[in-house]
Amino acid sequence: MTTERSRASGRPTLDQVASRAGVGRGTVSRVVNGSDKVSASARRAVESAIAELGYVPNRAARTLVTQRTDSIALVIFESGRRFFAEPFFGRIVQSIASALGGRNLQLLLMIAQSPEERHRTEGFLTRQHVDGALLLSLHGDDILPAKLEERGVAMVRAGRPTGAVGGQTFVDADNRGGARAATEYLRARGRRRIACIAGPQDMPPGIARLAGYQDVVGRGAIAIGDFSEESGEAAMRRLLDQYADLDAVFAASDLMAAGAMRVLRENGRRVPADVAVVGFDDSAIAGHTDPGLTSVHQPIEEMGEEMVRLLLAKIDGIDFDQHEVVLPTRLVPRGSA
């Protein structure tokens, strides 16, 4: 048993762990570094010795040998307020953290919206600090992904690049197909004056979901929001002012749909009798509105898992041809439509 005196006599070494476990130093090193080239019995013996001795790997020494930092940055280009308010972020961060758990990697969460935050983030994201980066909620033709590639930092982004930017590895949901299915669902139920509360037009999901709506109705009646509940309320008021006879609304997020439903009630419009409403995300919010919100299910957890899979393949130097992963969406009917 490890005593306080033995702990105080010095930090346990790799050799001491090997001696306690009855294995070679190389076996201990492989266990510590997460290699699968170790027998189950040897792994158990090493893990038991590590626990008994209180051994903590010397991360600095490991970095010198492996040229790895064992750290992954998750960069979110939104405000802290937005990060904590929108269910999407919590779900995907949890998925990413879970997927990284088996690799003994540190996850560094970085929120970068202001110019100062952006500057610090860009300076930090080098191979001396992280092995790779996952990028969420990029706006416009952001130059950071290209900068990271120039520095040799492995990178995977959520969302298809906008504009002419190409060649970057990304994971996305079928936003356009999901929005198209939602709008077709409304039309199939006899709705003819279908409006849209679109998301930001400098972000891939906002652009794609508006395009899916327009695939069905053409130009349509459109108001732009920013995915937040408050923007959904403001957009719904604008739509009612301009299109008083609308009988359905497709909102590009559940939060905006919830805001729209509140404004409809304030204006004496019954949901769905007078105006049917469909959202996007299939978040917990969809089950708490009254009536329940029909919504497009976005595979958020699977997106996080795929982003980690592709990033680790890049870090490990594994060749793969699939640099663009688009996951299917599906409509989940509830009472609002």
CA torsion through residues 303, 309, 313, 314, sign: positive
Q: What three-state secondary structure class fits 330?
A: strand
Q: What is the pLDDT of residue 7?
A: 42
Per DSSP, the residues of 68-87 read ---EEEEEE-S-HHHHHH-H
Q: In what order do the strands lie in the sheet with 294-297?
A: 221-224, 194-198, 248-251, 276-281, 294-297, 330-332
**Which SS3 state, helix, strand or coil, does residue 108 take?**
strand
pLDDT at position 235: 98
Can 71-173+301-327 and 175-299 be said to share one CATH topology?
A: yes
Q: Write the pLDDT tens digit of every residue in 208-250.
A: 999 999 999 999 999 999 999 999 999 999 999 999 999 999 9
Spatial contact of 278 and 249, defined as CB atoms under 8 Å apart: yes
CATH of the structural domain 175-299, one choice from 3.40.50.1580, 3.40.50.20, 3.40.50.2300, 3.30.70.260: 3.40.50.2300
pLDDT number for residue 267: 96
Helix (H, G, I), strand (E, B) or coil at 24: coil
**CATH (one of 1.10.260.40, 1.20.140.10, 2.40.128.30, 1.20.20.10) for 4-57:** 1.10.260.40
Task: Kindly tell me the sign of the dihedral angle through the C-alpha atoms of 268, 274, 275, 276.
Answer: positive
- DSSP string for residues in 172-241: EE-HHHHHHHHHHHHHHTT--SEEEEE--TTSHHHHHHHHHHHHHHTT-EEEE--SSHHHHHHHHHHHHH
Q: Rounded to an integer, what distance in angstroms lies between the CA atom of residue 317 and that of residue 158?
A: 21
For the chain, give every domain's residue range.
4-57, 71-173+301-327, 175-299
Beta bridge partners of 106: 71
- The pLDDT assigned to 3 comes to 42
pLDDT of residue 124: 86
* Residue 8: predicted pLDDT: 42
Instruction: Write out residues in the chain with pLDDT < 50, as ranges.
Output: 1-9, 60-61, 63-66
- Per-residue buried b or exposed e for 190-204, using 16+ beta carbons within 10 Å of the residue's own CB: ebeebbbbbbbeebb
Q: What is the CA radius of gyration of the chain?
A: 25
Q: Which of 62, 63, 53 is nearest to 11 (CA)?
A: 53
The residue whose two tokens read 């509830």 is 334
pTM, entire model: 0.77
Is the separation of the CB atoms in 284 and 256 below 8 Å? no
CATH fold of 71-173+301-327 reads: Rossmann fold (3.40.50)
Q: Return the pLDDT at 66.
A: 47
How many residues in total does the chain contain? 337
